Amino acid sequence: MRPGECAARSARLILDGMPRSSVLVLVLVLAVLLGARALAAVEPFPPPPPPRGPVVILTRHALDGRGGELNDARIGVADGRIASMNASPGADVIDLRRYTVLPGWIDVHVHLASHFDKNGRIATESEPAPEAAMGIAQAAWDSLMGGFTTVQSVGDDSERPLRDAIRDHGFPGPRVLTSLSWIQGDASIPDDKLREMVRERKANGADLIKIFASTSQRVGAKPTFTEAQLQVLCDEARALGLRSMVHAYRSQVAAAARAGCNEIEHMTYATAEEIGVAAKAGAYLSPQVGLVVQNYLENKDRYIGVGNYTEQGMATMEKDLPEDFRVCTIAAKIPGAKLVFSTDATAGAHGHNAEEFLGRVAHCGITPMQALVSANRVAAEAIGLGDRIGTLAKGYAADIIALDGNPLEDLSAVRRVVFVMRGGVVYKWPGAGRP
Ligand SMILES: [Zn+2]
């Protein structure tokens, strides 16, 4: 007997002698029940288990991701985690003693969906869906190959299937957290509607909420939401267990921090006092100085003509780059400020995220070690995973990278990522040649 046949047969027995309307209702209820049964009969595939191991990684010089240096650590990896920092050599040995070993980096602000189309131009919504899907997958792969084992992608609904494929089906890429589509600032939106927008994203699987509190720098960097609206949004996010990230310029930096939002992006044109308010409120601060604008300028012809990518907008970004350096330097000097690694990488920049390390050291007055820790411990804490990633220590995820060179002496080593392991899976290895 096939599933459902038995229920159908018993139903036929009950039907005799019932009024027609009741029969109709019963048939409908039965149809719903059988339908639900058919759906429930199939479960999603379980995620593939991490490699069991054990694998032992031999190191000479390693950074622990929290500001410490380790000598001659033997990192034991089993079941996707770091099982020991002093392992005895096991069956499989990966010898990274020629390199500097550190936890995989974390970029808390990228746009994986942003890519160039087959003609080399910035892709728009008119791009065929299969090509868009390949574009976002390529951006994820490039980020991973650049040493970024976790990225927070903030701005597109297509980030969810990508996140899920990587997390649940072994698709190659970094661990992805997503805001799905961002909430565009508009002072006329009533509070109820704002709360609904947050709830909708939570229901659709968002890991955080991304809010635009200012227009783009290319069109004036003007305020869009009121402080009260920001409070409604960030309160609702918190109530649902979501973090909030705010794109903010000028006085919106302090407004977003006072509203209790967790992370403030860009901060361009803010005063020292406004940045101080944000730091004191405990918000994570992420100015960008080394990649996003430089990439726009390098690829100007690929962007111009779409949306607010205009000659004038590009000129504004170029002219005001020193503004970005200024706000970054101010933030870096505030004791206790939580300066987190974030690039805002768009098309052309994926895989080059590490340029931001060089920019931060060159333009914000911080040390290479501070810059590196901002993409390990600080970034892990900023995305709520401080106890699971961003540190080389027993119990943490086996997200491990190696650089050809010592970045504390020659920071350009961040451009030479020769080994990438995420969750115990090796994606790039010097012994395997360049992918
Ligand atoms: Zn962005």
User: How does pLDDT run across 202-220, given as a tens digit for each residue?
Assistant: 999 999 999 999 999 888 8
Return all residues near 406 (Cβ < 8 A) that are at least 6 apart. Answer: 61, 100, 413
Q: How confident is the model at residue 48 (pLDDT cuts 50, 70, 90)?
A: confident
Report CA(107)–ligand 1 centroid distance (Å).
Answer: 12
Report CA(219)–ligand 1 centroid distance (Å).
Answer: 15
What's the alpha-carbon Rg for the chain, to the nearest Å? 25
Is 153 contained in some domain? yes
Is 218 contained in some domain? no
Q: How confident is the model at residue 47 (pLDDT cuts 50, 70, 90)?
A: confident
Based on the domain organization, do 292 and 378 belong to the same domain?
Answer: yes
Is 17 contained in some domain? yes
pLDDT tens string 273-316: 999 999 999 999 999 999 999 999 999 999 999 999 999 999 99
Is 166 contained in some domain? yes
Between CA 234 and CA 260 the distance in angstroms is 6
Alpha helices (runs of H) in 110-183, residue ranges in sequence order: 129-145, 159-169
- What mean pLDDT comes out for the span 343-354? 98
Between CA 428 and CA 435 the distance in angstroms is 7
| Domain end position, chosen among 346, 366, 382 | 382
Is 159 contained in some domain? yes
The sign one gets for the Cα dihedral 334, 340, 346, 349 is: positive
**Where is pLDDT greater, at 73 or 11?**
73
- What mean pLDDT comes out for the span 53-80? 96
Report CA(323)–ligand 1 centroid distance (Å).
Answer: 17
Contact in structure between 56 and 94 (CB atoms under 8 Å): yes
Q: For residue 338, give Cα distances in angstroms to 179, 275, 296, 373.
A: 21, 11, 27, 11
Report CA(106)–ligand 1 centroid distance (Å).
Answer: 15
Report CA(155)–ligand 1 centroid distance (Å).
Answer: 7
Report CA(342)–ligand 1 centroid distance (Å).
Answer: 9
Report CA(266)–ligand 1 centroid distance (Å).
Answer: 9
pLDDT tens string 261-273: 999 999 999 999 9
Residue listed under structure tokens 């002219």: 319
How much is the pLDDT for 89?
A: 79
Q: How confident is the model at residue 34 (pLDDT cuts 50, 70, 90)?
A: low
Report CA(343)–ligand 1 centroid distance (Å).
Answer: 8
Report CA(176)–ligand 1 centroid distance (Å).
Answer: 15
Report CA(348)–ligand 1 centroid distance (Å).
Answer: 14
pTM: 0.89
- What mean pLDDT comes out for the span 315-336? 96
- What mean pLDDT comes out for the span 378-399? 98
Report CA(135)–ligand 1 centroid distance (Å).
Answer: 17
Based on the domain organization, do 292 and 376 belong to the same domain?
Answer: yes
Q: How confident is the model at residue 32 (pLDDT cuts 50, 70, 90)?
A: low
How much is the pLDDT for 10?
A: 39
* The total number of structural domains that make up the chain: 2
Report CA(109)–ligand 1 centroid distance (Å).
Answer: 6
pLDDT tens string 400-418: 999 999 999 999 999 999 9
Q: For the chain, how many residues are written?
A: 435
Based on the domain organization, do 312 and 172 belong to the same domain?
Answer: yes
Based on the domain organization, do 26 and 162 belong to the same domain?
Answer: no
Beta strands (DSSP E) in 179-309 are 208-212, 243-248, 263-266, 284-286
Report CA(121)–ligand 1 centroid distance (Å).
Answer: 19
Report CA(265)–ligand 1 centroid distance (Å).
Answer: 8
How much is the pLDDT for 209?
A: 98
Report CA(22)–ligand 1 centroid distance (Å).
Answer: 57
Based on the domain organization, do 20 and 161 belong to the same domain?
Answer: no
Report CA(4)–ligand 1 centroid distance (Å).
Answer: 51
Q: How confident is the model at residue 15 (pLDDT cuts 50, 70, 90)?
A: very low
CB-based burial label for 4 (10 Å; 0-12, 13-18, 19+): middle
pLDDT tens string 235-257: 999 999 999 999 999 999 999 99
Is 299 contained in some domain? yes
Based on the domain organization, do 174 and 34 belong to the same domain?
Answer: no
Is 263 contained in some domain? no
Share of the chain above pLDDT 90, in %: 84
The CATH number of the domain where 162 resides is what? Answer: 3.20.20.140
- On the question of pLDDT at 167 being above 70, the answer is yes
Report CA(119)–ligand 1 centroid distance (Å).
Answer: 23
Between CA 304 and CA 296 the distance in angstroms is 9
Q: How confident is the model at residue 2 (pLDDT cuts 50, 70, 90)?
A: very low
Between CA 47 and CA 84 the distance in angstroms is 25
Report CA(154)–ligand 1 centroid distance (Å).
Answer: 7
Based on the domain organization, do 291 and 378 belong to the same domain?
Answer: yes
- Kindly report which listed range (32-36, 125-129, 368-372) carries the lowest average pLDDT score: 32-36
Between CA 91 and CA 34 the distance in angstroms is 52
Which structural domain, as residue segments, surrounds residue 14?
5-40
User: What is the average pLDDT score of the chain?
Assistant: 91
At 334, is the secondary structure helix, strand, or coil?
coil
Report CA(318)–ligand 1 centroid distance (Å).
Answer: 17
Report CA(319)–ligand 1 centroid distance (Å).
Answer: 19
- On the question of pLDDT at 104 being above 60, the answer is yes
Alpha helices (runs of H) in 375-427, residue ranges in sequence order: 377-382
Region for 365 from its dihedrals, namely left if φ exceeds 0, alpha if ψ lies in -120 to 50, beta otherwise: left
Is 387 contained in some domain? no
